[in-house]
């Protein structure tokens, strides 16, 4: 059989209460109603790419990245219109060059479309395994219901034939040109037709068509499923109505996490599935479906192998690990939605594509070197002092070109020292910069993100996280930062 062999997820640390959105806009655009709950908010240095990297790393715990045969990425919020985001993710998680990768886009069911393609690749024996990741950070226009409802997050599933935790028994797919929710290439915010029409013509009829289709195909009835997982449009009441239409017992239907996460777009269905897998037992049958320009539906059966992949941050641990944003203005600033007075600081050196290319192994998977002569792990010389990465001369013993590669992105470390810099330019002042002593040796200076300035202290445990440093002339500069060990 083939199926899911591992799962992982990512939810940003920060949450914004919908009460705060209501306060900020005094109810404008909300029909005077304060929608309850909170939404996960990507930090200023996160986007769909960085969140996908986190989810894939969570999914690949205990998996050698060099043994992964492919990576399919699904999103509607890629940072580039022309540059492959799956290539950035694959490089950051250190996949081999000879693997197949693709960006799936354009639909909120791009995640399950990618899954279907991955299943086909496995069936054709083109690959032994493949990671499918979905990640989204969609923007609703300020004061609207979409701004209230959308949350940010990512999911990843490893599909393969060995140690399958959930067999895929069947699938069913249909396409439909109708969307009712769209965003043109020039749009910043998602647009929608009147939602009554959008739901009555789309979600409420097309998704059941796929769900019934897969049940018929597999000869299964509603009562045969332990868990029913299907995603929701912005209005979660439509999700509840569908449960009734299809005759599923509500207690078996997976929570949409609208209240504590928000609608994560392309990632939503897979994140809900992962939440279901976290609770699943051997023998459970799961119906899994996703909607968007048509619908995909799958039947899964959980195996005993599921007990071996419990060491994941997944959904539950990520949901529990959170910090509330105290105000809406921070959200606006982080999303770049308001013009800010420019900092009275020097402009950054223009990004050099040739420098990024030369140093790619040091920048994307965060490789340094280990000296074969003296055994010292070393990250890299600073940019302003012979900043070639990796170094060619060992700073300890001066041996030349006698290094083996040494990866730092998967190492934890201890905070050696720090500053909170109040004059440095950052969307999240103060800029906390730290020096890390990595467990096992090696040192580096990094931005410290997702930190609470009041609790930063010498000696605290830190880990690495893939983030966007800054945007310069159309180039997103991705790199690693440190953060307090999250969970």
Residues that bind other proteins (CB under 8 A): 344-352, 354-356, 359, 363, 376, 378-387, 389, 395-396, 416-426, 430-431, 433, 435, 437, 441-447, 458, 469-470, 472, 477, 479
**Residue 34 to residues 145, 281, 420: CA-CA distances in angstroms?**
10, 38, 36
Dihedral sign (CA 416, 444, 96, 108): positive
Q: Which C-beta is closer to other proteins: that of 315 or that of 389?
A: 389
**Shortest distance in whole angstroms from residue 104 CB to other proteins:** 30
**Shortest distance in whole angstroms from residue 52 CB to other proteins:** 21
Omega cis (within 30) before 430 = yes
Q: Which C-beta is closer to other proteins: that of 179 or that of 426?
A: 426
**Shortest distance in whole angstroms from residue 394 CB to other proteins:** 10
**Shortest distance in whole angstroms from residue 277 CB to other proteins:** 36
Q: Which C-beta is closer to other proteins: that of 388 or that of 486?
A: 388
Q: Which C-beta is closer to other proteins: that of 162 or that of 404?
A: 404
**Shortest distance in whole angstroms from residue 408 CB to other proteins:** 12
Q: Which C-beta is closer to other proteins: that of 285 or that of 380?
A: 380
Q: Which C-beta is closer to other proteins: that of 170 or that of 381?
A: 381
**Residue 422 to residues 338, 429, 448, 453: CA-CA distances in angstroms?**
21, 6, 14, 12
**Shortest distance in whole angstroms from residue 328 CB to other proteins:** 24
**Shortest distance in whole angstroms from residue 267 CB to other proteins:** 26
Q: Which C-beta is closer to other proteins: that of 62 or that of 474?
A: 474
**Shortest distance in whole angstroms from residue 349 CB to other proteins:** 4
Q: Which C-beta is closer to other proteins: that of 187 or that of 439?
A: 439
Measured distance CA(449)–CA(464) in Å, rounded? 10
């Amino acid at each position: 059989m083939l199926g899911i062999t591992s799962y992982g997820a990512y939810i940003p640390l920060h949450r914004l209460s919908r009460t705060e959105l209501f306060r900020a806009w005094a109810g404008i655009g909300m029909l005077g109603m304060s929608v309850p709950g909170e939404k996960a908010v990507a930090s200023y240095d996160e986007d769909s790419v960085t969140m996908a990297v986190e989810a894939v790393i969570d999914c690949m715990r205990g998996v050698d990245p060099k043994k992964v045969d492919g990576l399919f990425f699904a999103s509607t919020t890629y940072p580039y219109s022309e540059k492959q985001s799956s290539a950035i993710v694959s490089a950051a998680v250190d996949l081999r060059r000879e693997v197949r990768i693709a960006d799936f886009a354009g639909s909120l069911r791009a995640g399950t479309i990618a899954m279907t393609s991955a299943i086909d690749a496995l069936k054709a024996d083109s690959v032994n395994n493949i990671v499918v990741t979905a990640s989204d950070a969609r923007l609703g226009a300020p004061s609207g219901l979409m701004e209230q409802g959308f949350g940010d997050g990512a999911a990843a599933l490893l599909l393969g034939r060995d140690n399958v935790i959930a067999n895929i028994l069947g699938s069913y797919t249909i396409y439909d040109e109708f969307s009712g929710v769209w965003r043109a290439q020039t749009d910043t915010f998602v647009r929608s037709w009147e939602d009554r029409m959008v739901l009555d013509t789309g979600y409420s009829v097309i998704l059941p068509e796929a769900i019934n289709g897969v049940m018929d195909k597999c000869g299964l009835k509603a009562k045969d499923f332990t868990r029913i997982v299907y995603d929701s449009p912005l209005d979660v009441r439509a999700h509840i109505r569908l449960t009734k239409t299809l005759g599923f017992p509500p207690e078996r239907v997976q929570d949409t996490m609208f209240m504590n996460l928000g609608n994560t777009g392309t990632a939503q269905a897979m994140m809900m599935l992962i939440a279901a897998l976290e609770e699943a037992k051997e023998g459970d049958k799961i119906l899994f479906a996703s909607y968007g320009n048509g619908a995909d539906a799958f039947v899964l059966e959980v195996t005993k192998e599921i007990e071996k992949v419990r060491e994941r941050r997944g959904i539950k641990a990520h949901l529990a690990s959170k910090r509330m944003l105290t105000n809406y203005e921070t959200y606006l600033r982080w999303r770049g939605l308001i013009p800010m007075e420019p900092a009275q600081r020097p402009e950054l050196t223009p990004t050099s594509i040739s420098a990024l290319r030369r140093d790619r192994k040091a920048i994307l998977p965060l490789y340094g070197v280990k000296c074969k002569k003296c055994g010292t792990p070393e990250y890299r010389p600073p940019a302003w002092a012979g900043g070639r990465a990796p170094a060619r001369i060992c700073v300890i013993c001066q041996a030349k070109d006698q290094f083996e590669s040494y990866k730092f992105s998967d190492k934890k470390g201890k905070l050696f020292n720090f500053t909170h810099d109040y004059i440095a330019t950052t969307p999240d002042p103060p800029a906390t910069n730290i020096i890390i002593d990595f467990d096992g040796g090696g040192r580096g200076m990094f931005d410290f993100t997702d930190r609470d300035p009041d609790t930063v202290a010498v000696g605290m445990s830190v880990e690495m996280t893939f983030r966007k440093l800054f945007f310069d002339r159309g180039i997103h500069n991705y790199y690693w930062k440190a953060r307090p060990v999250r969970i």
